[in-house]
Amino acid sequence: PCFGRERSHACLVSDATVAAESAYRMCYLGAPGEGAERALMSELSAGDVVLADERTLARVVVVQHARDAGARFRLLTIRHARGTARGSFSLTADHMLPLDGRLAPAREARVGARLSCGGAVEAIIHERGGVINPISSTGYILVSAATGEPALAATGNEWLADVMLSAYPQYSLSFALSWLLPATTQAFYDDALERLFDAAVPALAALKAAAPSAAARA
């Protein structure tokens, strides 16, 4: 589950005194001020603070695929509009986001579907590109292009989103380490954990998919 590497931006908050609402206005409404600005997700790292939604700040736990600049994947670029305001963002088909009031994988997006920002999907473009995925402490993040309206998306895919959006990660060792030693956590993930995680994902996804049916037969 990833965002498009080349165009996906988050609202990066670099001043601890800036509230979420003020950061939103600076990043997306053109309000003057310092301490919050749009930044490419590929420029983020563990420990950074971003907007999880209009009223919530979140810490970046780790950035997946930070060193995979050359890898190419299938992406969906979703263009949306709310009145005269327009925006766009790119992500993989299994990435979760609110669609018509429910959390769903991006592949279920259709023209006319409503996003969390209140805008409607205007177009869906299939393309290939690099990927990046900042995992936030809340499991959500606002994503946008360099200009235009943002939209809310989860930072997990369809088999992992329920775990990422639960209370469990807040008490995990990985979250604690990222809070205390963000640079070390990011480096360790890049050097050791990412390849292990990528290799394990297919088996874990299959195991989770099989669990409900096994429970039903019991």
Give the domain ranges of the chain.
3-168
Provide the greatest CA pair distance for the chain.
Answer: 60
Q: Assess whether pLDDT exceeds 80 at residue 22.
A: yes
pLDDT for position 202: 55
pLDDT in tens, 131-185: 999 999 999 999 999 999 999 999 977 666 666 665 656 666 777 777 888 889 8
Identify which of 162, 154, 174, 153 has the alpha carbon closest to the alpha carbon of residue 209. Answer: 162
For 18, the token pair is 């800036």
Give the containing element (helix H, strand E) for 51: strand 49-53
Q: Assess whether pLDDT exceeds 70 at residue 208.
A: no
DSSP structure class, residue 22: H
Percent residues over pLDDT 70 in the chain:
80
Identify which of 40, 51, 62, 43 has the alpha carbon closest to the alpha carbon of residue 156. Answer: 62
* Mean pLDDT, range 120-136, rounded to an integer: 96
Cα–Cα distance list, 154 to 83, 86, 210 (Å):
24, 20, 23
User: What global pTM score does this model have?
Assistant: 0.82
Rounded-to-integer distance, Cα 3 and Cα 7, Å: 9
pLDDT for position 18: 98
The CATH H-level superfamily of 3-168 is Hedgehog/Intein (Hint) domain (2.170.16.10)
- 206 or 50, which is more confident? 50
Cα–Cα distance list, 144 to 80, 137, 173 (Å):
11, 19, 30
- As beta bridge partners, residue 86 has 81
Q: Assess whether pLDDT exceeds 80 at residue 214.
A: no
Percent residues over pLDDT 90 in the chain:
64
Rounded-to-integer distance, Cα 59 and Cα 156, Å: 15
| Rg of the chain taking only CA atoms, in angstroms | 17
pLDDT for position 93: 96
pLDDT in tens, 74-96: 999 999 998 888 999 999 999 99
Task: Say which range, 4-8, 17-21, 60-64, 205-209, has the weakest mean pLDDT.
Answer: 205-209
* Mean pLDDT, range 196-213, rounded to an integer: 53
Q: Assess whether pLDDT exceeds 80 at residue 43.
A: yes
Q: Assess whether pLDDT exceeds 50 at residue 215.
A: no
Q: Assess whether pLDDT exceeds 50 at residue 216.
A: no
